[in-house]
Amino acid sequence: MKKGKLFIMFQWALVVLITVFAFGPLPAKAAAGTITNDVFWKDTAGNPIYSQGGNILKVGSTYYWYGVKYNGAVSYYNNPSAKNSDTSFAAVTCYSSTDLVNWTFRGNVITAGAEGTTWDPDWLGRLGVVYNTNTQKYVLITQYAGPEGSGVAFATSSTPTGAFAFHHVQTSITNVVNNLPGDQSTFVDDNGKAYLVFSNASGRSRTYVSELRASDYLNIEPATQVFQSTLGGREGNAMFKYNGRYYIASSDLHGWNASHAYVISSTSITGPYSAESIMANSEKDYSHVSQTGFFIHVQGSSGTTILFAGDRWSDFAGNGLGYNQWMPLSFNGTEPVLNSLSKFNLDAAAGTWSVAAGNNYIMNPSYEADRITLNTLTGWSNWKNTTADPNSNISPGRTGRYSMTQYSDTAYSASMYQNVSGLPNGTYTLKAWVKSGGGQQTAQIFVKNYGGAEKNAAVNTVMNNWTEITIPDIAVTNGSAQIGVYSVANAGNWLRVDDWSLTKN
């Protein structure tokens, strides 16, 4: 090596050393993390995350997540076998993250009954936080019913994590049927303008977009109606923007229960919007047993990911574990497609995602999507040879309110199955939890049409307690499989199945 090159390399190394000693080590790029649905999420201290009906605001490189802590959420976390109706307000919580996976609790930014405040609502929810550059204030906007009246409440703070001081309640919005919003969410456009997206209070058949007063975001300006449903009301109204197009998604009026997602879109925020359609894949398991809550725009160095942040009101609906179900969207042209995943990797710095190891490829595996007892279940198909339908989802389930039951008071043959597509070729394990009264001529969990011979496991013996049934070593070679349960039974024979999983080893 020549002396000149050696001297130049030494100078470069010296610069790096000086940088490290003067400013500390260079920050490491945040690694991709894994988001796991169908569980109760915990913060970095290991405590339950209580955040429902909120939104996320990005400040610099930090995401702040705001949501409501209801007293009933704590009760359900401690005993998820029974729903409750305790919607009483405990706090608005704030969590922060740089990767959207690991969340640190930053405190309660509003607390019920806190001394010196007037926050004592009968109801508070569906909130969002936006930042106004004129006032340099963070503005919290929420549905509210309390001593100050019913409407949309505003509160402000000088920091994203500081206590938000009550400002006022707006009790009427111009151009809106019934004056007030049903469900609502906030949206901030690329140009910095902030909006409220909502339905009307009674009936909720109309969808509106209203700009927030630019000077301070403390007033909702006259609304523009962008859609009217002729097929029923809409709730969970939320907006995102992708490739210059605005999308408004919403759910059926199913109370606390799950719904497939409806969507309309436009190149202008105030319309005209497209005809309404059901977001692709959301019909397979009713948006992973959730409602539309809000959307997270993840802009990275390698791409942009839109996350569907679904509200699973499990505390008040009793439909399984977890309050939040986040899933990435794909796009078929301009049409959004929901990827209903139980586990996926998210690299927020890159703006990319991938299916994670351990993802459950079965749709509606716990039979909670339909929210009522039915014979034909979302995501599943029936085959039967009996006059009395032995297939229905009847409570109680192993988790949530429902399981799938096969029963008839006459002899029957029946099968409930699901064709699972889009499987990466490889070796899989099928699991299901079963209760059985026994006595069937044949009763079995099975997997077939995967590129190999059918595999099955008998369940025609007495199983009084939930028992996990496993079929290992399923070598998928054609990207698909059919899984299900099959019975040839006598009058009065029964079995129940719940909590399926099909995971790649």
Torsion of CA 223, 227, 232, 235, to 10 degrees: -60
DSSP single-letter state for residue 85 = -
Residue 7 has pLDDT above 50, yes or no: no
**190 within a domain of the structure (yes/no):** yes
CATH code, 469 = 2.60.120.260
> How wide is the angle at C-alpha 184 spanned by C-alphas 183 and 188, nearest 5°?
165
- Cβ neighbours, 10 Å, residue 50: 24
Contact 220, 152 (CB under 8 A): yes
Residue 21 has pLDDT above 60, yes or no: no
SS3 content of the chain, % helix, strand, coil (to 5): 10, 50, 45
Q: What are 258-286's pLDDT values in tens digits? A: 999 999 999 999 999 999 999 999 999 99
Residues 287 and 183 grouped into a single domain: yes
Residues 308 and 418 grouped into a single domain: no
DSSP single-letter state for residue 349 = T
**361 within a domain of the structure (yes/no):** no
Sequential DSSP letters for 386-445: SSS--EEEESPPSSSS-EEEEE-SS-EEEEEEEEEE-PPSEEEEEEEEEEE----SEEEE
**Domain boundary residue among 355, 389, 415?**
355
Contact 407, 388 (CB under 8 A): no
Residues 90 and 238 grouped into a single domain: yes
- Cβ neighbours, 10 Å, residue 454: 11
- Cα atoms found within 13 Å of the Cα of residue 200, Cβ hemisphere only: 20
Residues 341 and 390 grouped into a single domain: no
Residues 345 and 389 grouped into a single domain: no
Number of domains into which the chain is organized:
2
**Domain boundary residue among 355, 371, 404?**
355
Q: What are 460-498's pLDDT values in tens digits? A: 999 999 999 999 999 999 999 999 999 999 999 999 999
Residues 204 and 250 grouped into a single domain: yes
Sequential DSSP letters for 7-62: HHHHHHHHHHHHHHHHH-SPPPPPPPEEEE-SS--B-TTSPBP--EEEEEEEETTE
Residues 6 or more apart whose CB falls under 8 angstroms from that of 190 comprise 241
Strands 391-394 and 194-200 come out as unpaired
Q: What are 350-369's pLDDT values in tens digits? A: 999 999 999 999 999 999 99
Report pLDDT for 31: 63
Residues 343 and 208 grouped into a single domain: yes
Q: How far apart are CA 487 and CA 500, in angstroms?
A: 17
Instruction: Tell me the average pLDDT across 206-229.
Output: 97
Q: What are 169-186's pLDDT values in tens digits? A: 999 999 999 888 989 999
Report pLDDT for 286: 97
**10 within a domain of the structure (yes/no):** no
Residues 317 and 443 grouped into a single domain: no
Contact 155, 139 (CB under 8 A): yes
Residue 92 has pLDDT above 80, yes or no: yes
Residues 244 and 105 grouped into a single domain: yes
**Domain boundary residue among 307, 339, 355?**
355
66-71 contacts at long range (C-beta below 8 A, 24 or more positions apart): 66/92, 66/93, 66/94, 66/109, 66/127, 66/128, 66/129, 66/140, 67/92, 67/93, 67/127, 68/92, 68/93, 68/124, 68/125, 68/127, 69/93, 69/108, 70/315
Which of 428, 456, 436, 287 lies closest to 364, judged by CA?
287
Sequential DSSP letters for 351-362: TEEEEPTT----
Residues 6 or more apart whose CB falls under 8 angstroms from that of 411 comprise 386, 489, 490, 491
Residues 6 or more apart whose CB falls under 8 angstroms from that of 274 comprise 264, 265, 266
Residues 345 and 439 grouped into a single domain: no
The mean pLDDT value of the chain amounts to 91
Q: How far apart are CA 334 and CA 244, in angstroms?
A: 10
Report pLDDT for 67: 98
Question: What pTM, to 2 d.p., does this model score?
Answer: 0.92
Q: How far apart are CA 164 and CA 158, in angstroms?
A: 8
113-121 contacts at long range (C-beta below 8 A, 24 or more positions apart): 117/165, 117/166, 118/146, 118/147, 118/148, 118/166, 119/89, 119/146, 119/166, 120/146, 120/147, 121/89, 121/145, 121/146, 121/153
Question: For residue 353, what are its two tokens?
Answer: 């995602």
Range of the domain at 189: 33-355
Higher pLDDT, 180 or 235: 235
In Å, how far from its chain's centre is CA 62? 21
Residues 152 and 283 grouped into a single domain: yes
Residue 8 has pLDDT above 50, yes or no: no
Q: pLDDT over 90 for what percent of the chain?
A: 83
Q: How far apart are CA 76 and CA 82, in angstroms?
A: 7
Residues 6 or more apart whose CB falls under 8 angstroms from that of 292 comprise 236, 237, 238, 249, 250, 251, 259, 261, 308, 310, 311
**193 within a domain of the structure (yes/no):** yes
**430 within a domain of the structure (yes/no):** yes
Rg of the chain over all Cα atoms, to the nearest angstrom = 26
Question: For residue 122, what are its two tokens?
Answer: 């009968």
Q: What are 93-103's pLDDT values in tens digits? A: 999 999 999 99
Residues 388 and 331 grouped into a single domain: no
Which of 485, 496, 482 lies closest to 361, judged by CA?
482
**367 within a domain of the structure (yes/no):** no
The pLDDT-based confidence of 117 (bands split at 50, 70, 90) is low
Q: How far apart are CA 379 and CA 256, in angstroms?
A: 20
Contact 96, 107 (CB under 8 A): no
Report pLDDT for 113: 78
Residue that has been written with the tokens 């179900």 in this structure: 325
Q: What are 133-163's pLDDT values in tens digits? A: 999 999 999 999 988 889 999 999 999 998 9
**494 within a domain of the structure (yes/no):** yes
CATH code, 298 = 2.115.10.20
Report pLDDT for 118: 57
Instruction: Tell me the average pLDDT across 50-73.
Output: 97
**362 within a domain of the structure (yes/no):** no
Which of 379, 283, 301 lies closest to 337, judged by CA?
283
- Type of residue at 162: G
